């Protein structure tokens, strides 16, 4: 397993693989496709990349066309990360019957399929 970076996104632990970029001479995070493989917070909110195409519910704070989640007023971007959580009610998954909020027992989500 190569290098990874961990994020706690509103209670869900993401482990994002890192890949060395020769041009930039630094590690770059390789995010999974959260549309193909959805990840939800314990509250049932989807975790999404900031540059995800906006869905039909997307709205900007100033009424301008909403292009991506990053510019949507329902999006809560995690500080220091390119991922965040969509807070729109319609996008929420039905909460699990007994949500496990104990962080110590949570298994990390092994993000990505790109090694």
Partner 1 sequence: MEYITVQEAAKKWKISDRLVQKYCAEGRIEGVRKFGKSWGIPSSAVKPQDPRKEKESPIPRLPHPQPEAFPGFMPLMNTPFELGRCVAYINEIEDGSRREIALAEYHYFSGQPEKAIQESELYLTCPDAAYRFSACWIYAYANLSVGQIQHARYALTEIKSTLAANVEKAPYIRAIEAFVVFASSVLLHLPLPEKMPPAQEFLPLLPSGLRAFALYVQAHYLYLKEDYGKSVGIVEATLSMGADRYPIPAIYLHLVAVMDYMSLKQTQQAQKHLLAAWEIARPDDLIEGFGEHHGLLGGMLEAVIKPGWPEDFKRIIAITYRFSAGWRKIHNPATGHDVADDLTTTEFAAAMLAARGWTNQEIAQHMNISSHTVKRYISTVLQKLGIRQRQELKKYMLK
Of the candidate spans 6-14, 19-27, 47-55, 94-102, the one that interacts with ligand SF4 by CB under 6 A turns out to be 47-55
Of the candidate spans 6-14, 44-52, 86-94, 99-107, the one that interacts with partner 1 by CB under 8 A turns out to be 44-52
Pairing of strands 12-21, 109-110: parallel
86 binds ligand SF4 (CB under 6 A): yes
Residues numbered 69 to 88 that lie near partner 1 (CB under 8 A) are: 70-71, 77, 82
52 binds partner 1 (CB under 8 A): yes
> What is the C-alpha separation between 115 and 109, in angstroms, rounded?
14
57 binds ligand SF4 (CB under 6 A): yes
Q: Which positions lie near ligand SF4, rule CB under 6 A?
A: 48, 54-55, 57-58, 66, 69, 72, 74-75, 86, 88, 91
């Amino acid at each position: 397993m190569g290098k990874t970076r961990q994020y706690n996104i509103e209670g869900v632990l993401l482990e994002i693989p890192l890949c060395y970029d020769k041009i930039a001479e630094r590690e770059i995070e390789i995010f999974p496709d959260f549309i193909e493989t959805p990840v939800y917070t314990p509250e049932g909110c989807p975790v999404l990349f900031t540059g995800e195409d906006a869905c039909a519910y997307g709205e900007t704070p100033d009424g301008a066309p909403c292009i991506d989640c990053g510019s949507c007023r329902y999006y809560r971007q995690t500080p220091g990360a390119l991922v965040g959580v969509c807070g729109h009610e319609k996008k929420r998954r039905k909460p699990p019957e007994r949500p496990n909020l104990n962080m110590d027992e949570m298994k990390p989500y092994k993000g990505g399929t790109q090694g």
